[in-house]
Chain A
């Protein structure tokens, strides 16, 4: 019986010849990543010093911090947190990425998505590094373990394999694919397991689209997602990689907890209705619903392909009067590329409010919706209150649907504008 890519990566990180799902190991993460947030990094830094006597970390190149929340700071207290982060990184010689964009995306851009690497973070959306064959796990507060000691305890997870086949039609995006997986497999289908995405449809899915799918894995219950990287993903990741590692791949006879074959042929755009990311519905059932605001951005969808399709739809058209459309590219690199392509001017001319990369629109710091208002969003989830009043509503959908809805002020099918 062969091994999954996950078992191979964890065996290497634990320094053992082989590992099987269920084994309990102590594994050394290749990279320990975090964003600064009150009660998280500030507490870790304090605890490292006061509880464990760690004044400086050894191997600072294993660590990286991203300042992507509370950007820009709007209160002195927020800026004070960032000062603490900058100071710790400087004292420890740990790389700091500030105002470069949302950390999960930036991590891939700057080489932490090293194929074959084991990465930990406290936030689960780091799973999107799995696009490049990196095993990236959000450990929540337990990531303190990776800050204070070299190895973390981990039970090698079982893997659920999903084989995607078929091709997407215009106006149907990776975002729809992910929510279709939740609808088909269920929100608990991969609980405590790894979601491994494969199959012939991978060739036609863009790298950006795969980042969307792997980044949302937690809503299937998975602890992360991973892909056996093909030439295109390796061509992106290897030249940027911060560590020389041999990429690894699942064996053909690897042992999977479950295998799903999902055909994307005929998939229609979907919408995820409030208040949970488990409520996938056909977009066609919600057409015409009055909407007040739209958000295109987040670590899940705010990449070039999302901006391109939104610009294609909005070119020469106008956002409906009174509709608040916020477009936030996921990273500075993406924003600059979008600028060079003319996408930013198209979106601005159409009436979109375009802002610099930040997590704040998605995690709810910028939360302006009042009761009874509704938004369409490409954010990560649609729980009550994430964009303002708990009595407002969030409908998750793809970037094209956000753009089409902005034109009509009602949930609209993007395909008629393509």
Chain B
């Protein structure tokens, strides 16, 4: 079973290299756990009307080494709550990448994406073809394939369901009789 293609508008383009995702909700709000409150704060310093403009399925676009620093989970929790379906970036920082894939949140590493799209273009991530398509402009670019385990984790919907689906009881760390 392949991953469902992503299709939506480019809701925002983070043009800054090494972007620290904590800035999305603001560092002072990082410890907030209520997702509604987080969502109401998200993007306030970038586009105060973001929440009103975004539609379910929309995507974010980032520059190189997106998620650098010590990224926390609340910013992207807020983004998912607003309907954001994934992030396409020139490249990603490993800590951020691992963290968000484990949440089952699609991340697409696509060198050249900043030149391919403008804000509000409609784009499609075709997992099978390995292409990001700009449906508004009729252009496309290949993206870097996911590792097998990353793909399985996205398919499963996150870390816990992935581990449940892919770990036979004999491979659990549990102590067993006769062990």
Contact = CB atoms under 8 A, between A and B. Distances in A.
Interface in B52-69: 64-65, 68-69
A247 interface: no
Contacts of B22: 383-384
Interface stretch (B115-123, B133-141, B163-171): B163-171
B107 interface: no
A323 interface: no
A140 B173 contact: no
A90 interface: no
A278 B160 contact: no
B64 A188 contact: yes
B126 interface: no
A52 B163 contact: yes
B41 to A, nearest CB: 13
Given A24-B147, A141-B102, A390-B26, A147 B69 contact: no
Interface string B78-94: 00000000000001111
Interface size bucket, B side?
Answer: 35 or more
Nearest to B160: A51
B48 interface: no
Given A24-B149, A278-B18, A149 B173 contact: yes
A144 B159 CA distance: 8
Interface in B131-179: 147-149, 159-160, 163-164, 167, 171-176, 179
Nearest to A385: B27
A183 B167 CA distance: 43
Interface string A125-157: 000000000000011111011011111010100
A276 interface: yes
A56 B174 CA distance: 6
B164 A51 contact: yes
Q: Which of B64, B70, B91, B160 has the most CB of A within 10 A?
A: B70
A132 to B, nearest CB: 22
Given A140-B95, A142-B98, A148-B163, A385 B147 contact: no
Contacts of A389: 28
Interface in A149-174: 149-151, 153, 155
B68 A278 contact: yes
A23 B81 CA distance: 36
Interface string A213-247: 00000110111000000000000000000000000
Given A275-B20, A390-B28, 7 more contacts: A24-B149, A48-B173, A58-B176, A188-B64, A188-B65, A218-B95, A221-B93
18 contacts: A24-B149, A57-B175, A58-B174, A58-B175, A140-B99, A140-B102, A141-B99, A144-B159, A147-B173, A149-B171, A150-B173, A155-B149, A188-B18, A188-B64, A221-B65, A276-B68, A383-B22, A386-B27
Interface of A: 24, 47-48, 51-59, 124, 138-142, 144-145, 147-151, 153, 155, 187-188, 191-192, 218-219, 221-223, 275-278, 380-381, 383-386, 389-390
